[in-house]
Amino acid sequence: MANANGPMGEEGRSIPQTTNPMVTPLLTDLYQFTMAYAYWKAGKHLDRAVFDLFYRKNPFGGEYTVFGGLEECIRLIANFKLKEEEISFLRSVMPTCEDGFFDYLRAIDCSDVEVYAIPEGSVVFPKIPLMRIEGPVAVVQLLETPFVNLVNYASLVTTNAARHRFVAGKSKNLLEFGLRRAQGPDGGISASRYCYMGGFDSTSNVAAGRLFGIPLRGTHSHAFVSSYMGHDEIIGKALQSHDGSSTCEDFVSLVQAWLGKIQWTDSLRGVFGETNQSELAAFTSYALAFPNNFLTLVDTYDVMRSGVPNFCAVALALNDLGYKAVGIRLDSGDLAYLSIEARKFFQAIEKEFSVPSFGKMNITASNDLNEETIDALNKQGHEVDAFGIGTNLVTCYAQPALGCVFKLVEINNQPRIKLSEDVTKVSIPCKKRCYRLYGREGYPLVDIMTGGNEPPPKVGERILCRHPFNESKRAYVVPQRVEELLKCYWPGYSDKSREELPSLEKIRDRCMKHLSQMRPDHMRRLNPTPYKVSVSAKLYDFIHFLWLSEAPVGELQ
């Protein structure tokens, strides 16, 4: 048997706590506990319920979402246990509840819960359950709020990162710089993790680098530049050459000599006059600290009149000692224009002083970037190699919330439906199975939901796919490949085997692969084609039968 000890046994214990220790069973809405009491009081708390976690609309005007947050949900249930002091608190909040209820709460864990989910990092679509959670209704209800919380932002920001990667292109370096503007501390930490999952290359967030093994990047800020008054502040002026063979005793003078040479270069004459000397001191000092990793922010005073020439003077001095400077960062102004001007400057230096590949110096841009500004830069033409993106990425400025919901679809084997005057808000009843059907060209064609007992779609066999709520929208599909979407991540007392939780690196790979497999018209930024989400003919009929049987009949008079 796959898990003889049950999920809270050996296997369960191997799943660590949630990343944020504030995620406990109390991180939920009060009504989950009041409902639990009402269930308990009615003797209904052990009723076997099936809930679907899904969303209704893709974010950012797009036609896809990347699913994130699954591992944190599994960590929560693997360690789900109310502490005595938490129970005391609940008792103080619900003073009219009977003692027996608190004994019941004291005893609950998630050993009798089953969780099925689409693998984290998958491209997903509206209405299809990202997760199906089965178990005693009172317990599963407690999971609603934390699960939705853990999935909503994770999926939203992963999707946002994937969209930024899409518009920036595969060749650009993408740096996540969002910590300071994120919605709270773990808004920042989660953002770093999920942006990496969605295709970013690195983060500035040290805590996230440590927690998740994400590559870290960072050099210096404007304050570093303006903290210097002049060269006389620099105490240790010596710098050993890269190969260790010699030492330059006065690197400061070498830099100044180079600045003079650049200033009198024919091809650069008139670009700049006197550069800011405190900036030059800051750059020199930074090079003395990080000669192998010299990248500076060049817009503290004036990019082309001061920052770029000062950078080049230091880079050329480093070059004399065998070090290769990394590049510059632009954090304000017209990034297209400035990157092109800086590139010309670097190329002129390469030519003038015969420094191979100096013209290819890395240019990072980082001022309030988002999908639109990167797209606009692409259209204008630019020379940016790397984008550092913060606010718009991590707060998902273009749409700061995803609307995942958690709906009861079956209880004690009875399918349930939630009606609404707004048809997009009607839930799809039944414990369902979900499949992705692939076409001849290898692209996913349609996702289909079927009743739990229907035979799965078969490769090469025609199947009718129906829109769940629009009678006339239906199509026959002959799948070339059929993928079952929901896998078992928490088997409860069932005999299913538990899917492993893959590493962040593997989830990121899955995400990159999934995104690249999608038909391009679903992915484009403007007017993307909706991906089709359907139900089987049998499930369609059942939805509409149940709808009629639950909706009260009106009376015309």
Residue numbers 390-449 binding a copy of itself by CB under 8 A: 391, 395-397, 400-404, 406-408, 411-412, 414, 416-422, 425
Copy the structure tokens of residue 301. Answer: 């005073």
How many residues lie near a copy of itself (CB under 8 A)? 133
**Cα separation of 263 and 283, whole Å?**
17
**Cα separation of 45 and 47, whole Å?**
6
250 to 289: interface string for a copy of itself, x by CB under 8 A: --------------------x-xxxxx-x------xx-xx
Give the list of residues 6+ apart from residue 153 with CB closer than 8 angstroms, or none.
Answer: 69, 187, 190, 194, 396, 402
Residue 302 interacting with a copy of itself (CB under 8 A)? yes
Question: Which residue lies nearer to a copy of itself by CB, 150 or 507?
Answer: 150
Question: Which residue lies nearer to a copy of itself by CB, 12 or 209?
Answer: 209
Copy the structure tokens of residue 189. Answer: 């930490």
Length of the chain: 557
Question: Which residue lies nearer to a copy of itself by CB, 300 or 450?
Answer: 300
Which member of 30, 376, 459, 475 binds a copy of itself (CB under 8 A)? 30
Question: Which residue lies nearer to a copy of itself by CB, 11 or 410?
Answer: 410
**Cα separation of 213 and 63, whole Å?**
31
Is the distance from CB of 335 to CB of 367 less than 8 angstroms?
yes
Q: How far is the CB of 427 from a copy of itself (least distance, A)?
A: 9
Q: How far is the CB of 195 from a copy of itself (least distance, A)?
A: 13
Residue 450: exposure state from Cβ atoms within 10 A (0-12, 13-18, ≥19)? buried
Which member of 56, 91, 222, 324 binds a copy of itself (CB under 8 A)? 222
Sheet of 202-203, strands arranged across: 202-203, 173-176, 386-389, 362-365, 327-330, 295-297
Residue 182 interacting with a copy of itself (CB under 8 A)? yes
| CA distance to 78, 124, 437, 439, 518, per residue, from 464 (Å) | 39, 21, 12, 14, 22
Q: How far is the CB of 44 from a copy of itself (least distance, A)?
A: 6
**Cα separation of 341 and 408, whole Å?**
59
**Cα separation of 163 and 177, whole Å?**
16
186 to 215: interface string for a copy of itself, x by CB under 8 A: xxxxx-------------xxxx-xx-----
Residue 509: exposure state from Cβ atoms within 10 A (0-12, 13-18, ≥19)? middle
Question: Which residue lies nearer to a copy of itself by CB, 270 or 455?
Answer: 270
Q: How far is the CB of 193 from a copy of itself (least distance, A)?
A: 10
> In the window 102-161, what residues touch a copy of itself (CB under 8 A)?
137, 141, 144-146, 148-150, 152-154, 157
Which member of 79, 159, 160, 306 binds a copy of itself (CB under 8 A)? 306
Unique residue bearing structure tokens 């960062």: 329
Residue 224 interacting with a copy of itself (CB under 8 A)? yes
80 to 99: interface string for a copy of itself, x by CB under 8 A: ------x--xx--x--xx--
| CA distance to 123, 308, 401, 515, 536, per residue, from 522 (Å) | 11, 41, 21, 10, 23
Question: Which residue lies nearer to a copy of itself by CB, 234 or 518?
Answer: 234
